[in-house]
Structure 1
């Protein structure tokens, strides 16, 4: 074979097999990612037949990492993270520590060094954001409170893992890795200088990049060229990642992540995400294929108990730790089970960590194979684990008094305090949801001296509202107890400001049972849903695009009318 065609054959073989096996995986109700990893295994050096170029595949994987992390940054919202910080931050820290210790214990049992065990444990501790997002989206709970907690948890894990990636190279020699340089500076100086470089890059991105990137996108968008806009987005992602690595000694992953996070601040963030998605998806596939090429299938036969131990840490160890932590923060059993299922897998960051550990000589080849085996099995089983949440919860509530207690125990913010003034509880508006729309409605009600009570799933948000002197209760308003605590029986109107209309009928049924004459107002993002809701005569339905069109039409007619009269 002509050496000059190695790049083409590697890409074509990778994409072709990934397409076939990814399709088969989806048909078997498994994530396509499993198919991509299997494609890499088939064209890797550990299996007979065609062998792709590992060096070229690893470079393509680096681009995949950049674009993958750029996509994570584009969807990363500091506000979303802050809204669940009280559970996500300590939860991620404790759960990662516990999983890392379990991994280190396994490595010690197998006779590995402390450094090898640490990297191995860290790789097992971080779940895949890509797998989680797809799992939550397929179940329609991406925007639910449980979904937000799980995503916030994983974002914290991602940030902690990025910090580990930054610190690994300077600490490689200490951890027992191969080092070509003689260490002459103290360890604290090395770590301090590394963190200083990272801080300088972050400050530069948040101060300069936050202004420069949106400005650049604005001027490129004014040209009207779709190709130039896409090129600007991809160039920013890869260029910043490359510059961060060479100027600040920051990993490609961190550079690309901050490029995406800063670009999110632009008004073109949704378009940037949309335009770059095909290329991000394509290179993400190559990343997973290249990771599969490093896997040695023989380990499944030679060390089956080691593989089972790794899977147990990922699926049982991490999940139990996450469940205990969530319950300790007084969240209901359903939330704890959702978070536990979300973390019962490992993915892209585990591969990035293991790959860097392998290149630095901190992780043995056997460790990479065990991590890949654990990833394949846990990702394949994740849909099954999610599907078991409801039946397991039902079984637990039927047979366990403890489970019933954990599900129904009192949330300190689920009841209105006795000090709430009576004026709020007579003829008030019950406002379900305090997001972007709910917040504006609340401001309008306040400005017009209309009493209202907020029902919101986000406990931290409820706490902040109470500090401002606003009456609010935490919980899912589809549960009758939440609306009862909001004194729905005394309310004159129920306003449902959440975009999710799945539980609307439950809320309305509860409200009309307790207050037959109550007026219902709700919103929807879907035209078909708006038609069905209106046909059911549930209440006054506001459909986003329809209301936008009405507002624009009113403005146009108003502006045009005087000119038309003069003519």
Structure 2
């Protein structure tokens, strides 16, 4: 076969194999990168042998690596780096240096490599994590704006920057041991000179050139000019003794701060993706499945060593920068793999003779397996934390570092509104509330946003809005209401649930990032759930309908009905299986379990509004599986509990244990005609110091004390030995007549129990919730 035609056949085979592997990976919900590697391994010399001449494909794959690094340079953003600059610059640099140093010591000590230089090179490979895999996992879970998401991406940006420096220094490592220092110095000097030239060109040459290309209004010409610029600088750095990849990265950085950066990236991305596919498929062709199988135990051991080693380096570093323990643990697990750009280093190292063929194959196999494991690890992490938070000792340990990092002066003490999240939505809410003279407290964990709050003199608590300690510091228990405008669904759910644990009657309005979260948030106790896209469509439609002559009153009434129906008319139609699947996926990230209702349970025959499970037991009921097979997802207030039902409950271990006591009759269930009311014991109350047995409210007022809440502690179904303290909130259940009388006596703090007499009917509106008016639990 002619050589030129052989190249075309090989390209077609490689691209087809990569496409097939990528499709398989996508169907299995794995990163397509893994599919490219698999496709290359299948058609390569160690697989089916359909592609035998690797040199030509590898040459084209080198262009793929160059375009990958060029696009990486264009995407680099100083603004994103500034959000977490301390941990990204300081922590990222320390992580890289620590990984290189420890790997060099261990690998030389146990004989994996024969020289410190090779150990440093191996450490450089292991120090990099996968930007592509981690970013995809964060985007799938809508976690890019969470604290751990920003920390991970900040460290990844620094690793990507370090890759350019590694590629520059790498050729110097093949020099004789006595000359390595001088060679590295020369390489760094060259890098500095090139960087200086790149900065100058980025200021004076690149912008006019891109403007000239853009002025032609020719997409083809603009793309051709950018590609020529990228490859030209890449070849220049190769000529100067550095690498093509290093030059491509510098070319991307030169464009990153120019106004045409986004346009450049849009045009280059298709080319980058095609050549990057060739690159990863070519790497896959170098992987020997037989070698991996024969050395499977060793590779799995190396994978475990890499995961544990990098976790033990990264997690303590993040914690040392005063981030919460949970954030440190998630970041350590999320960055514990070896990154795709390590393939670039490993390939260069083999060519330069820095690693043997066997070590190179072990690196490839270990890297591929860590990339496969990472999505599973990141999906498992929320479930592990949900379980850990159900164990009181582990929950206290995890939340021990989640107290407020800073509290502004002069926080409002009561009747304020707590706003969680100070992004665009949060800023608007705060501005409107302040214009109407309502006191606010903002909770946020971004240093940038906290600085804005300082400058605007807005009261704030710097910390994780889902932390009980932070909520307590913000005065949630004394607040008038709360608005939750957090960027990710998981933090929103935790924030809502914990806020209602502290203040069950709190008026909470929540922004739903996705329409599938709407019913879940209502079920967790939100008073109102707002979906921005649906709200925009309602406002646009209302304006158009009124403009066509429809009555304003009719249009507003129709819009209100749609809001009251939880946007059901606007949401895409889903069958019951899709709804159940979404619900199952959402509750997996929370502490949830199925519970079989006993046949003789006192809850049998009660509606959910009558049972009032969230207020009394603290659990949220998400789904009911009937004995005959029917399933009710997100049951409403009028749903009746039946014998043999299986209930999907969300709550911590103590809340679910309390529900079991209710369900089995261990503790009494309030009768159907009773109401429940939270009553705060005033400061300096003469009730303080007395036990519930001394007060004997059941005998005197015919009300039951179902729970006591004090300083974040929730005591359900307290016995007579519980001593009342000033500031406690008591959950009383009884008729409205008796509740009102008990309320008047407790809030008046009279030391003498008055005789039971017909009360006035001024039942407090905000605190008393008749059982017939409650929402579903």
The answer, yes or no, to whether TM exceeds 0.5 is yes
**Counterparts of 1:108 and 1:352, CA distance in 2:** 26
Q: Does 1:55 align with 2:55?
A: yes
Moved more, 157-166 or 281-290: 157-166
Structure-1 residue corresponding to 2:261: 269
Structure-2 residue corresponding to 1:560: none
Where do 1:481-500 residues align within 5 Å? Answer: 481-487=469-475, 500=488
Q: Does 1:295 align with 2:297?
A: no
What is the CA distance between 1:364 and its match in structure 2? 1.0
Structure-2 residue corresponding to 1:220: 213
Q: Does 1:158 align with 2:160?
A: yes
**Counterparts of 2:427 and 2:169, CA distance in 1:** 41
Q: Does 1:170 align with 2:172?
A: yes
- SS of the residue corresponding to residue 341 of structure 2 reads helix
Call closer, same or farther: CA 1:333–1:365 in 2, change over 3 Å.
Answer: same
**Counterparts of 1:450 and 1:542, CA distance in 2:** 24
**Counterparts of 1:220 and 1:330, CA distance in 2:** 47
**Counterparts of 1:453 and 1:222, CA distance in 2:** 50
Contact 2:515 2:531 in 1 (8 A): no
Moved more, 104-113 or 18-27: 104-113
2:443 to 440, 455, 470: 455
Q: Does 1:376 align with 2:368?
A: yes
Q: Does 1:45 align with 2:45?
A: yes
Contact 1:6 1:53 in 2 (8 A): no
Contact 1:74 1:264 in 2 (8 A): yes
**Counterparts of 2:531 and 2:142, CA distance in 1:** 21
Structure-1 residue corresponding to 2:18: 18
Structure-2 residue corresponding to 1:71: 71
**Counterparts of 1:237 and 1:483, CA distance in 2:** 51
Call closer, same or farther: CA 1:545–1:205 in 2, change over 3 Å.
Answer: farther
Q: Does 1:86 align with 2:86?
A: yes
Moved more, 471-480 or 72-81: 471-480
What is the CA distance between 1:374 and its match in structure 2? 0.5
Length-normalised TM-score, structure 2: 0.60
1:127 to 129, 138, 146: 129
Structure-1 residue corresponding to 2:7: 7
**Counterparts of 2:452 and 2:368, CA distance in 1:** 42
**Counterparts of 1:147 and 1:498, CA distance in 2:** 13
Call closer, same or farther: CA 1:326–1:29 in 2, change over 3 Å.
Answer: same
**Counterparts of 1:376 and 1:43, CA distance in 2:** 17
What is the RMSD computed on CA atoms of the aligned residues?
4.1
Structure-1 residue corresponding to 2:248: 256
Moved more, 201-210 or 370-379: 201-210
- Superimposed CA distance per residue, residues 337-371 of structure 1 (whole angstroms, 9 cap, x where no aligned partner): 32123223223221111111111111111121011
Where do 1:407-556 residues align within 5 Å? Answer: 407-411=398-402, 413-417=404-408, 420-421=409-410, 430=418, 432-435=420-423, 453-459=441-447, 462=450, 471-479=459-467, 481-487=469-475, 500=488, 538=528
- Superimposed CA distance per residue, residues 242-295 of structure 1 (whole angstroms, 9 cap, x where no aligned partner): 33433x544333332233334332344333333322221111111111112222
**Counterparts of 1:528 and 1:214, CA distance in 2:** 44
Contact 2:402 2:464 in 1 (8 A): no
Structure-2 residue corresponding to 1:241: 234
Structure-2 residue corresponding to 1:404: 395
**Counterparts of 2:435 and 2:220, CA distance in 1:** 46
Call closer, same or farther: CA 1:374–1:37 in 2, change over 3 Å.
Answer: same
Moved more, 388-397 or 447-456: 447-456
- SS of the residue corresponding to residue 443 of structure 2 reads strand
Call closer, same or farther: CA 1:495–1:4 in 2, change over 3 Å.
Answer: same
**Counterparts of 2:407 and 2:9, CA distance in 1:** 65
1:141 to 129, 140, 143: 143
**Counterparts of 2:122 and 2:229, CA distance in 1:** 33
- Superimposed CA distance per residue, residues 144-179 of structure 1 (whole angstroms, 9 cap, x where no aligned partner): 22111111112222222322221121232145xxxx
2:190 to 185, 194, 197: 197
**Counterparts of 1:84 and 1:99, CA distance in 2:** 21
Contact 1:142 1:148 in 2 (8 A): yes
**Counterparts of 1:528 and 1:221, CA distance in 2:** 42
Gap regions ≥5 residues in structure 1: 176-182, 554-567
Decide which structure has the larger Cα Rg and report it: 2
- Superimposed CA distance per residue, residues 105-162 of structure 1 (whole angstroms, 9 cap, x where no aligned partner): 2464245312223322321221111111112112221222211111111222222232
Where do 1:299-338 residues align within 5 Å? Answer: 299-338=291-330
Contact 2:103 2:120 in 1 (8 A): no
**Counterparts of 1:451 and 1:214, CA distance in 2:** 48
Length-normalised TM-score, structure 1: 0.79
What is the CA distance between 1:477 and its match in structure 2? 2.7
**Counterparts of 2:388 and 2:435, CA distance in 1:** 47
**Counterparts of 2:37 and 2:299, CA distance in 1:** 17
- SS of the residue corresponding to residue 461 of structure 2 reads strand
- SS of the residue corresponding to residue 388 of structure 1 reads helix
Call closer, same or farther: CA 1:167–1:489 in 2, change over 3 Å.
Answer: same
What is the CA distance between 1:427 and its match in structure 2? 7.3
Q: Larger relative CO (CA 8 A, sep 6+): 1 or 2?
A: 1
Q: Higher helix share goes to which structure? A: 1
Contact 2:133 2:375 in 1 (8 A): no
**Counterparts of 2:456 and 2:242, CA distance in 1:** 41
Structure-2 residue corresponding to 1:561: none
**Counterparts of 1:530 and 1:393, CA distance in 2:** 23
Pairs aligned (count): 536
Q: Higher strand share goes to which structure? A: 2
Contact 1:9 1:52 in 2 (8 A): no
1:342 to 329, 334, 341: 334
Call closer, same or farther: CA 1:300–1:434 in 2, change over 3 Å.
Answer: same
